[in-house]
Structure 1
């Protein structure tokens, strides 16, 4: 078998690249804009000591903040997207550093903002609103700042914390360079002795191969390399958790979890409630592992047997054109307005489609104001079709919030970030099941849906529990060495997968390859978002137009209310464990159908 050659960036056709020029025509135009943005520093500093002087001054300051937000949106997105096109190009890494440094400088210059806003008494603020009716647009911004009064420090202390921002980003930067640019994996070898390149982009497709020798070889290749760097990886993750603890302590939060969730107005109890609800639902997960072992005809199920479809003889491959057509049909229940935006994204350079040498691994959507940018590494698998609708869900959420909300409320918080993407995935699965009559193919699709549940509700909750417990170890002053992190991670795998899974020693290192552990309590939202999305997709299919109207209202909401309120408006209450419990019940039902189909 011939090895697949990964092209250089220059050899990728333009129609398969995102329209980066919609941000800036050239690197020089970006540099000119960056030079202009440096003027924001003295403009912001000029307001020091003045925010309480009049409603007019306060309104002017907020409008300047909007201007800065829009300017930085373009600067950051251009630098970051160019850097991700080829992570080996030092010039683009430097551009990211330059814009980061300027952002930190601006934060330092604006360090007076929060203390001064807190110093304005209620009577004066009411007078400002009366004198300047346009200030009402910023009432929620002010309310949010004033709600966090006890966590705000003095002017000088805030300036010091802002100045530490670039240093605090170092663990993530170091991890990204190690993981995306430096680590190289030996080729995997299949049962016939053919060699296959192992990269971040090829690893999961190799894990889905029916050739068990190839799967084990790819698994061993990947973790042997992470094993060589285990101490570096542990030191980097430890530094990340220490910087989170430093900021949480400085701001008088009881924990890093409380600090992280306060910014999104989410009660930490929701995080704990998710873990508790999933622990109560281990039964179906353990049953699934047992079924997978039996269906694969194995005496022992290993971690490298987790991704191979249990239904043999069904291989679903898609061109990118086919993937787009399927997406349009699957998302039709969301209405013509939604589909029009989807087509706009497909036809006008929102998507960077294929892997190239040095390109950032994985997939994401970046919601730039000009239009969203979607990074894919499309290989033509069923997973890749799901990834396409997932990232376009993010993109349309960003697009509608940017279009509907004023600048101050366009960015939705991360708690709701995974809802739109996962709702699209649920609708895609419902569509595929509705058009599939072949018994074997239906079983294959149900297996894929069960894998989504396993990978999102169970796996991401396991990640969330690992992140919580590792951060708690840091808070207690315990060493987060490679040995300690591996022991914790292995124990969680044993708990989540149950007695029918052989938890290979290598999987204890998996934490070292998960970039999301550098995102500050991000992963739990994949699980809560998945549960919310399952509930929303079922309501859309059941109730039609009314549910779609509520859902599009949610997508257009940005951060114009707290996330729990926004989701309630769409018909889901995430303050209750019900969405998690209902999702695990659906998992159990699908498991039953799978067993019946393959009996």
Structure 2
């Protein structure tokens, strides 16, 4: 027998493969020194309470608040990154706990700011800006706060809403405890007839199995278990929706959808048109189901056949250095400046590359205004890891441009824009890989990868969005929803989206119960709009070259200096129209044509 390959400890990973966090703080002692300064300085922000109607005092508050915020950002970032390097290191867990606790305190220190701005007379801000021109920099921020005036409450009611906020979060907490802690799933048999306990973690592996018995058994076991708790899940979800409706009504919004979209000035038409556009093109998804059925050689295609790959993943072992070259090759259309920044990130230690014992799983991009971007990977030598590298560097280079070109207050971007830059990189990479691949089997695999990405990120998430719209509107009009109602809505949506060839197994009716995003109202549609915007950018960049790259770079530099719809429109992608989603569906059809020859 060969020697068992053990996971390396943090100390065994060579330094060139670790991120350089020492550029933030050399050690914990340096961190502790700044933490003491933060605790001494932050309470001084209280001195500005009740004085923000004075233009000079308002400017002083902004400047001092920025100093405090930038210091707390650095402390928070360092502690979390060090904690994620090794969850078993008690020193880093301790400083992580300390800064987490203090961030809540810091939030309470500055809690007076927004209510005080909202309490000022309508024209007071404009007067203050005229008195002190330096305040012009903060005009967008101040006007963004003031637009909430019609939705703000009296001081007493605001305190009441804050006091009950923990209670209003109870449905999500109940869902999480039931789904993540209390529920257990049956034992099933894997491909080798070994008995394995089914979990949410290994379900995805089983539902992709080439053995149809395994995926059917896993599917029935998972949703059969959810079905046993259907009334509890229905109560927790409908209670969560009712709480959101309560918030919306209390703050004088016309609907819960408006309460979700209006803060970022996203027109309701963006949401509604996204659903309408996908509904108008469901024949493309129906065609995909038919092609998949044919290529898998099935007489009937069931819901549990949906995730099985049409072709096996090619066995490749890609060293990180080669993976970085593949990623850069795919991103060449973004221009030499972009590629140089990508390489700079590798050379300067942005990336923590390999897995080690105790390291947090998954991948992310993070950073602060006064630090370089940082990327956590758990690189495992596959093509999927190369795609993850391109994705996370998309986030990091977006942040790099934003921080270089925006003041601190506008250096962050909204969720509506957040996934666009990362997904643009993924689109460019997969287009490049498909185009250059000469091996027929590998090419089919890549085509299927992109098809699945569009199916799950666009079609599936819009189906989720349609479910949210139906359930919220039902409860807003006073129509109660039982577990049977929710199952019926979900069944009909699946029937509509997947078409006549798909057997809509009754077990799938419970799928709504396992979607945690439904507790973050009207969140999921942004995956679809983000993908559509990214596909549009990738297409324009490949077709129009430098002129499109310049516009795209403008998007990356914009940060949060305007509302997301305006930032995207200025860069050439208008999300108030159906064009970005229609372009994505056109790409889906192109890929289907490549597959169905």
Same fold (TM over 0.5): yes
Check whether the contact 2:86–2:358 (CA below 8 A) recurs between aligned residues: yes
**What residue number does 2:556 align with?**
555
Q: For residues 97 and 5 of structure 2, what CA distance do their matches in structure 1 show?
A: 31
Structure 1 326/148 Cα, relative in aligned 2: closer, same or farther at 3 Å? same
Structure 1 220/372 Cα, relative in aligned 2: closer, same or farther at 3 Å? farther
Please give the residue correspondences for 1:186-201 in structure 2 after superposition, counting only pairs within 5 Å.
Answer: 189-194=189-194
- How much has 1:594 moved relative to structure 2? 1.7
Q: For residues 468 and 560 of structure 1, what CA distance do their matches in structure 2 show?
A: 30
**What residue number does 1:446 align with?**
447
CA-to-aligned-CA distance 1:198-236 (integer Å, 9 cap, x gap):
776655455444333444455456556656666665565
| Residue range with higher mean Cα deviation, 146-155 or 26-35 | 26-35
Please give the residue correspondences for 1:112-123 in structure 2 after superposition, counting only pairs within 5 Å.
Answer: 112-121=112-121
Structure 1 19/589 Cα, relative in aligned 2: closer, same or farther at 3 Å? same
Q: For residues 227 and 346 of structure 1, what CA distance do their matches in structure 2 show?
A: 48
Check whether the contact 1:100–1:166 (CA below 8 A) recurs between aligned residues: no
Q: For residues 556 and 543 of structure 2, what CA distance do their matches in structure 1 show?
A: 19
Please give the residue correspondences for 1:403-552 in structure 2 after superposition, counting only pairs within 5 Å.
Answer: 403-476=404-477, 484-552=485-553
User: Which structure's CA Rg is the greater one?
Assistant: 2
Structure 1 383/73 Cα, relative in aligned 2: closer, same or farther at 3 Å? same
Check whether the contact 2:206–2:214 (CA below 8 A) recurs between aligned residues: yes
Where 2:365 maps in the other structure, the secondary structure is strand
Please give the residue correspondences for 1:119-134 in structure 2 after superposition, counting only pairs within 5 Å.
Answer: 119-121=119-121, 124-134=124-134
Q: For residues 236 and 82 of structure 2, what CA distance do their matches in structure 1 show?
A: 25
**What residue number does 1:371 align with?**
372
**What are the ranges of 5 or more consecutive residues in structure 1 without an aligned counterpart?**
none
- How much has 1:252 moved relative to structure 2? 1.6
**What residue number does 1:397 align with?**
398
Check whether the contact 1:115–1:154 (CA below 8 A) recurs between aligned residues: no
Structure 1 517/368 Cα, relative in aligned 2: closer, same or farther at 3 Å? farther
Q: For residues 399 and 327 of structure 1, what CA distance do their matches in structure 2 show?
A: 18
**What residue number does 2:275 align with?**
275
- How much has 1:416 moved relative to structure 2? 1.2
CA-to-aligned-CA distance 1:75-122 (integer Å, 9 cap, x gap):
444555566667899998897776566445444443432343244446
- How much has 1:381 moved relative to structure 2? 4.7
Check whether the contact 1:111–1:155 (CA below 8 A) recurs between aligned residues: no
Q: For residues 321 and 574 of structure 2, what CA distance do their matches in structure 1 show?
A: 37
- How much has 1:304 moved relative to structure 2? 3.1
CA-to-aligned-CA distance 1:12-65 (integer Å, 9 cap, x gap):
846666555555566676666556544566333322221112x21111111233
Structure 1 513/30 Cα, relative in aligned 2: closer, same or farther at 3 Å? farther
Where 2:596 maps in the other structure, the secondary structure is helix
Structure 1 511/343 Cα, relative in aligned 2: closer, same or farther at 3 Å? farther
**What residue number does 1:575 align with?**
576
Structure 1 116/364 Cα, relative in aligned 2: closer, same or farther at 3 Å? same
CA-to-aligned-CA distance 1:487-546 (integer Å, 9 cap, x gap):
433332222112222333443444444443344422211111111111111111111111
Check whether the contact 1:189–1:214 (CA below 8 A) recurs between aligned residues: yes
Q: For residues 39 and 244 of structure 1, what CA distance do their matches in structure 2 show?
A: 38
CA-to-aligned-CA distance 1:178-206 (integer Å, 9 cap, x gap):
76788776776433335778776655455
Check whether the contact 1:516–1:523 (CA below 8 A) recurs between aligned residues: yes
CA-to-aligned-CA distance 1:243-269 (integer Å, 9 cap, x gap):
433432332222232122122221122
Where 2:588 maps in the other structure, the secondary structure is helix
Check whether the contact 2:238–2:481 (CA below 8 A) recurs between aligned residues: yes
Check whether the contact 2:42–2:68 (CA below 8 A) recurs between aligned residues: no
RMSD across aligned positions (CA) = 3.9
| Residue range with higher mean Cα deviation, 342-351 or 408-417 | 342-351
CA-to-aligned-CA distance 1:433-481 (integer Å, 9 cap, x gap):
2211233332322222211111111011112223333444554566666
**What residue number does 1:70 align with?**
70
**What residue number does 1:60 align with?**
60
Check whether the contact 1:188–1:218 (CA below 8 A) recurs between aligned residues: yes
| Residue range with higher mean Cα deviation, 344-353 or 532-541 | 344-353
- How much has 1:384 moved relative to structure 2? 3.8
| Residue range with higher mean Cα deviation, 327-336 or 217-226 | 217-226
Structure 1 127/314 Cα, relative in aligned 2: closer, same or farther at 3 Å? closer
Give the TM-score normalised by structure 2: 0.85
Check whether the contact 2:13–2:356 (CA below 8 A) recurs between aligned residues: no
Aligned length: 595
- How much has 1:428 moved relative to structure 2? 0.8
**What residue number does 1:145 align with?**
145
- How much has 1:151 moved relative to structure 2? 1.1
Q: For residues 366 and 204 of structure 2, what CA distance do their matches in structure 1 show?
A: 23
Structure 1 398/503 Cα, relative in aligned 2: closer, same or farther at 3 Å? farther
Q: For residues 50 and 163 of structure 1, what CA distance do their matches in structure 2 show?
A: 26
Q: For residues 92 and 257 of structure 1, what CA distance do their matches in structure 2 show?
A: 41
Structure 1 316/194 Cα, relative in aligned 2: closer, same or farther at 3 Å? farther
Structure 1 277/142 Cα, relative in aligned 2: closer, same or farther at 3 Å? same
Check whether the contact 1:422–1:530 (CA below 8 A) recurs between aligned residues: yes
Check whether the contact 1:83–1:92 (CA below 8 A) recurs between aligned residues: yes
Q: For residues 292 and 14 of structure 1, what CA distance do their matches in structure 2 show?
A: 45
**What residue number does 1:595 align with?**
596
Q: For residues 240 and 320 of structure 2, what CA distance do their matches in structure 1 show?
A: 37
Give the TM-score normalised by structure 1: 0.85
- How much has 1:318 moved relative to structure 2? 4.1
Please give the residue correspondences for 1:286-325 in structure 2 after superposition, counting only pairs within 5 Å.
Answer: 286-311=286-311, 314-315=314-315, 318-325=318-325
Matched, 1:245 2:221: no
Please give the residue correspondences for 1:146-185 in structure 2 after superposition, counting only pairs within 5 Å.
Answer: 146-162=146-162
| Residue range with higher mean Cα deviation, 118-127 or 266-275 | 118-127
